[in-house]
Amino acid sequence: MKNNYLFFLLPVFLTSCGKSGCGKSGKTNQTPEIITILAEHTPNDYIGSVLGYYENEFGDSRDVHFRKNSTTSHYFPQKIKTLHPIWLRFTRGAQVPVYLVPGDTLQVKAAPRFSVDYSLVGERPGEISFYNSLDQKSLGMNVGDLAAVHKDETIFRPRTKMLNYLYNQRQTFLRQVKDSLALGPGFDKFIQTEIKSNYLISLLAPFYHPKFNQQPLRQTYLDTLSYFYTSGFFNQDSLVFSSPLYRRSITFYNRFLSRHALQTPQEMEVLYRNASQKFTGQTRDYALFSLLKEHLPQDLGIAPYLERSKKDISYKPYRIYLDSLANRSLQLTTHPKLLNNVLTSINGEQITWRELIARNQGKVIYVNFWATWFDLSLEELVLSQALQATLKGQDIVFVYLAENHPTEKAQLQQTIAARQINKENDQHYLIDLESPMLVFIAGNKNSFPMLHHLLIDKTGKVAAMNAKDPGDSKLREDIITLLDKN
């Protein structure tokens, strides 16, 4: 098998937890329970600077902060109300994740060298320690796997063999420790799927990573990817709610199924059709939901697909979420608090968001959130100027919003002058970090939406809540579409 440098078609070991999901006993309760996280207080501890994060059933990241009781100096318990198991990771040390099910209590202890140690107050210490054991064997699952796939075939071939090796070693380790760590059926199903999904996501990189556009792939590679579908891997509805890697694999696999239409005008239609026809059950619902969640904030022609999804998506919370997402753009130009949000020009003039839109009535507005200290946003300035040059004489303005900070204004003026982003169609304003508009866009206080963009049509309505970046060729197409509208 001379050309089969990558894969021997791997058996996919599927276990069943029933349609209701997997928990401690292989089933998920229908009443939400509490996962409690306790941070142990020790002298000179640093737990307060540790941030936990996990994904909810919609794929949104949620943070866990440890706050101290000012009277006792002990940390308040953190409680997560959930129907489903969660995959939780902390931001210090090796960032080894932990799998928790409703009803669990997790104790977090400070450990030497600024790492984090976990100990479970409950029934399943083996499951809590599994990821750490995997990491100690140099088999931890992280973004390093994805980096193994490379567009240069001389590098691509040996690295994909390495992915194959890691996959098999992780599966072997799981089988070796399953009994000694007393891994339950729910966790066993979860971790098997995580291992396979991690492997699959890395292999799917040519279909979602920009640098792999038009990447030629050998038939053995495509056959291996096809095997994941025919083997029944995507029939695991119970894990849609608990496994973040399984959710990502659904989204990216749909791009593989739609590969012949990628980067063509038919891309969205084919992606939607395959999500609807190639998957079933909760997996199908999530394939459709994740597709619309990604494209709703940025694609101008998404409304017909949103309407179709109201019949095609059976899981009501997904439909409610998508309706809410669609309404966010309307709120940005109708809600009084957002319209009255004050912006300050670099010359000290104060205007409201409402006034900025009114001043530019009849023009397309492209809004760029940026900062002088962030290299990627500085790179976007160059791309924005290049885009603007191709639209010279058109009714479009480029609005740049930076954080209103005492130390930022002088640096902002220097950067604008040095990079010559002070042309006729450039408008610069400062916005307060805790202002209603910024909190609305960022989703929480004290968070600046770096590399975020808005696209507003000539009537003052938000056409794209999360518009494409200035380096995306499709952005110019979107702008031309809006310019051509009366």
Tokens of 243: 């496994």
The CA distance from 486 to 467, in Å, is: 21
Do 350 and 450 fall into the same domain? yes
Pairing, β 61-65 against β 98-100: unpaired
Name the domain boundary from 227, 257, 287: 257
Give the per-residue pLDDT at 419: 81
**Residue 85 resides in a domain:** yes
CATH number, domain containing residue 408: 3.40.30.10
Does 300 fall in a domain?
Answer: no
Alpha carbons 239 and 247: distance in angstroms, whole number: 8
Assigned domain for 23 exists: no
Domain residue limits at 225: 1-14+32-257
243 and 351 share one domain: no
Do residues 249 and 355 share a domain?
A: no
Could you tell me if residue 422 is inside a domain?
yes
252 and 348 in a single domain? The answer is no
| Shared-domain flag, residues 249 and 353 | no
Q: Check residue 4 and give its pLDDT.
A: 33
Tens of pLDDT along the chain (486 residues) come to 333 333 333 333 333 343 333 444 344 457 889 999 988 776 666 666 677 889 999 999 888 888 888 888 888 999 999 999 999 988 766 677 889 999 999 888 766 554 555 666 677 889 988 988 898 888 888 655 766 566 566 677 777 888 888 999 999 999 999 999 999 999 999 999 999 999 999 889 888 876 655 557 888 889 999 999 999 999 999 899 999 999 999 999 999 999 999 988 899 999 999 999 999 999 999 999 999 999 998 888 899 999 999 999 999 999 999 999 999 989 999 999 999 999 999 888 999 999 999 999 999 999 999 988 888 888 898 899 999 999 999 999 999 999 887 777 778 888 888 888 878 889 999 998 889 999 999 877 778 888 899 999 999 999 999 999 998 888 999 999 999 986
What's the structural domain count of the chain?
Answer: 2
Asked if residues 322 and 292 have their Cβ atoms less than 8 Å apart, the reply is: yes
Domain boundary among 201, 235, 257: 257
Its pTM stands at: 0.83
**pLDDT at 2 (0 to 100):** 35
Same domain, 237 and 379: no
- Of 228, 257, 286, the residue at which a domain comes to its end is 257
Q: Counting beta carbons within 10 angstroms of the beta carbon of residue 194, is it exposed (0 to 12), middle (13 to 18) or buried (19 or more)? A: buried
Please give the pLDDT value at position 94: 61
- The verdict on residue 306 lying in a domain is no
- Does residue 275 form part of some domain? no
The answer as to whether 267 is a domain residue is no
474 and 355 co-located in one domain:
yes
Rounded CA gap, 142 and 430, in Å? 37
- Distance between CA atoms of 190 and 184, rounded to whole angstroms? 10
In a domain, 322, yes or no: no
